[in-house]
Chain A
């Protein structure tokens, strides 16, 4: 029997600009990035579910093994970082864009193709912001969940310091990533931007390893950071999310609406 011919893609006037941009983006990047993104999301979800179940149903083990909490948090951050880079289509300057053309397997900066199509720059920003927020949710959940546990279960008091350091690092990391990736901080060269982003990621991992291997105990009094957990930790995460959303809506999207593709 002859194979049924696939229905031809057609322009759909009912799509919003963002949805249409997303469709174009998905077609252009091919299936590899989509598959990798799905794998990351599934892995991150599994990690979260395993950590949540471990923390609730096997609390003793969860708290005794010092590496569990940092691993749970940091893996989520890694997933988040990869998800964002795989699904970002923020316009860069021409030099970066031309380099990024062949760099799709690692990062989906496809500005040069998008720039001459009937697509608005602001829609690429909106699309990338969605991806950033999905990714950030993993990171924030990884710090909010243990903070909630600290509030409702006294046994979690022992990880207050670790969580205080962790939550603050995560919030700063997300904020720095946002400010740099979405060009809120202007006037930096692409090289400087890349160096700061890489440094933020390296610091993030150093904190993770330090907390996991008792490294930090030798240099700092972890318990001192306990006040940054619990209600304060949740508030810190919420303030960070709210700040990012407000900056995005009030500054970044307004600016993206008015500026040319390569102008930040």
Chain B
């Protein structure tokens, strides 16, 4: 039996203009899962449902085997959350927050918090309004990590950061996940952030989870093919997950078992970005014009 940190079963949520449709995935203990999808695909909705911020229309969410709504406090004790937009009150400071967290978390580690605050140069008494975006993200990370969460939920933590701050935050995240004792759900549309971090990935397209698999399996299951447009026929086109067409050439994501249907194409191994982008293009049934020959 799998030891699960997070189990999402047939999760649904209906809004007036958007529907999260029957999403299921599992995150094993100690693993890092990338939750990827374009903006508006439903990533933040899933996270809000996990945190019981909004009510689900159907399905089930279990955190370390506990129902996230019935045992909300016990679940949230184990969760560390870093948001895309900071949740910090701009007129408050990190010292006040640390005090509040010490009241509420059984495992609060003041020494660890002070270590992070010092290491990342976070002034304890300065108002958050004086912090840069990168500093706010680091502040949220310091507060989150100091209560020793077993499940980290990162909702686009690098969104809106300048390149230097983004690299710094990613380095911090890599250090955190390196030990392998924390389970991480990392929501992002910047798939490059997941390189060297994620063990598995769940792809969300238009509110549906089109794929949820270990990273290793992406290359086992899929291939990116490219070649002249003449290699595409009505029959083999329908076998593609997604196609990107140029004036003369194309590039497509196909399942490896379908490769025999394509002739005169070059084959390469896909990465997370390929899986996401081709899935989106396939979903849109769109033709994307290639900028030139070199379409890597």
Contact = CB atoms under 8 A, between A and B. Distances in A.
Contact of B87 (A8, A12, A104, A113): A113
B58 to A, nearest CB: 14
Interface in B81-108: 81, 83, 85, 87-93, 96-97, 99-106, 108
A116 B79 contact: yes
B135 to A, nearest CB: 16
Given A11-B108, A28-B96, A113 B55 contact: no
Contact of B52 (A10, A30, A113, A260): A260
B76 interface: yes
A9 B105 contact: no
A113 B76 contact: no
B77 interface: yes
Interface string A1-40: 0000000111111010100100111011110100000000
A260 B89 contact: no
Contacts of B51: 115-116, 261
A186 to B, nearest CB: 14
Bin the interface of chain A by size.
35 or more
Interface of B: 48, 51-55, 69, 72-74, 76-77, 79, 81, 83, 85, 87-93, 96-97, 99-106, 108, 110, 129
5 contacts: A9-B103, A28-B100, A102-B90, A119-B104, A260-B53
Interface of A: 8-13, 15, 17, 20, 23-25, 27-30, 32, 94, 98, 101-102, 104-105, 110, 112-113, 115-120, 259-263
Given A27-B99, A116-B53, A120-B72, 10 more contacts: A17-B73, A27-B96, A30-B92, A94-B48, A102-B89, A102-B90, A104-B90, A119-B104, A261-B53, A262-B54
